[in-house]
Structure 1
Amino acid sequence: MDSGGAVTLLKSLSELLAAPRNSFEDYHESAMSLRSTVNFQLKQQHHPKRVADDSEEPAVVLTGEEKFKVESFYAIVDSLGSHLNRRFHAYSEINNRFCFLTGDLDSTAVKESLRSLTEFYSGDLNEEIFDEWVQWCSLVKQLASKPLSQALPTPLQMLTIMNTQNLQTVFPNVFVALHIYLTLPVSNCGGERSSSHLKRIKSALHATMIQERLNSLTLLSIELWIVNSVGFSNLIEMFAAAKARRKI
């Protein structure tokens, strides 16, 4: 899957998750059908102390069901939606640089896309990519296995045609642009649990540690398997001899 397909799927998934936010009652009824009694426990309310400039309006007191709806149901749905939107905007920004792959040659968006792509990948592409792209679009419609209308083949199909016909050196900028587009990852992952070596070393008791010592201890903590294989007997003896108090 390329980034264009990822953007389309993420957008549809965001729209799918937007609907359940207003369907709490439906989920509540479904839960009631699975279990005869569904009680929302409500702990004892703690009313804050009033001060002189407080409003005369009474404090808002939520029922157990309303508290669960606001603090749990809405929080989960909104958090999931915000994470999806953040990924959607990130993929959209990348995909906009390559909108010329599916756009019309006469469109100004294609020219702007090629210009911004050349500026972003200035070390890999040059300004000749526009002329190459115009010629390539005309040629690829003739080289395609099936007759094409105005629509172009997919980026993967175009790269396959270019490799089959050995046209990499004829259209070097287009070849590099297709490679970049098709090798951009469309999946992301993260560690289930993450920890920092810095948190283990720079604790509240070590807050005044200088930067040089902190860097050295962090490196020792990261490369612990190397440290364990090193013998420190001679180093300890040298340190003890240097710090030992001599009797007069």
Structure 2
Amino acid sequence: MLYNFFANSVAHDIFIKKRREMETTSQPVELKNLSETRWSCQYTALVAIRKSLPAVKATFTEIMSQPNARRKTEARAVSGLIDEQFVLLLTLFEDLFRVTKFMSDQLQSPSLELSSAMDLADSVIATLTGRRAEESWREIRDRASDLCTKANVNHNETPERRQAQPPRHLQEFVVEAQIERTPVTSLDALRTECFYPVIDRLVVEMRRRFSTEAGGVLSGVSALSPKHASFLDKKCLQPMAKFYGVTEENLTPELHQVKRLLERKKQQGHELKDTAEFLALMRPYKDAFTDLHRLICISLTLPVTSAGCERSFSCLRRIKNYLRNSSGDARNINLGLLAINKQRSKALDVQRVIDIFASNHNNRRIVLL
């Protein structure tokens, strides 16, 4: 709502003027559009609102003194939402998003190992659990109070609410369930209704996504990486093998034979760099090491994040534009491969590609040579 209001040219010009007057030393920050999918964008939007809140309030005050009735009404409506509760929630979510942002950035790295992701999740869960304390709540309240003073937001101002009337069709019935949301009218209620539930929801969701059972599978994936310290460690591989139906009786002899095979290959000068090379080495022996070969294939197909798929979809959105609306699927697939695999496409010899294209299409009117 703030971003849409300040997207107007008049409001944006006043906002820039107020921001320059009030933030002479620090670098000015523009308000960001709130993204529903990108965690880092949400954190950036919260930081931008917090830094620009004094200029935002000053802009609303000046717009409400102008003669334009429509703009004045919109400014009064949006400004009425910025109260002490708004500032407190802004401070709370910025603090929580700051804790989880670095994890979100790390999880989008294509080179991140699954075991490292599990360790990172455990540290974030421990940090969030520690925030569920009276000291953390007091610190957030103090920071919110300082921001209210700086932005000229009234303290301890409880808006008047009309008395809620029960629905007419339920007046003759005994209703035991809650039929409407209870308004939060005090900071203590905000602590019990918002502060604790938000932290609990984050912790529960992260524990569900990074469960102990999943942690065993992740440690098994790391044990199949030649660069990891637990490479082919039976204790680390057992949880993953058990999860995918591989018995210990079959896994133990295969590990013993594969270790001897790798020692022989190492004496011949063949050093493994990653799991993909390990799979290529095991492919001729997949009938002899069936279970281990299957676990290697599974480890290579388990992604640490969906960021790669999301980048592919974003790339396809740029490729399939209105100029290429009549392109066939084969052409779009080829363009997508070139755009997604940038390293391979940049390594291509463009002049050689043009020569091959010109030699295969002699009837072209455009001379490419």
TM-score (norm 2): 0.35
User: Which structure has the highest helix share of the two?
Assistant: 2
Q: Which has the higher contact order (CA 8 A, sep 6+)?
A: 1
Q: Which has the larger radius of gyration?
A: 1
The TM-score normalised by the length of structure 1 is 0.49
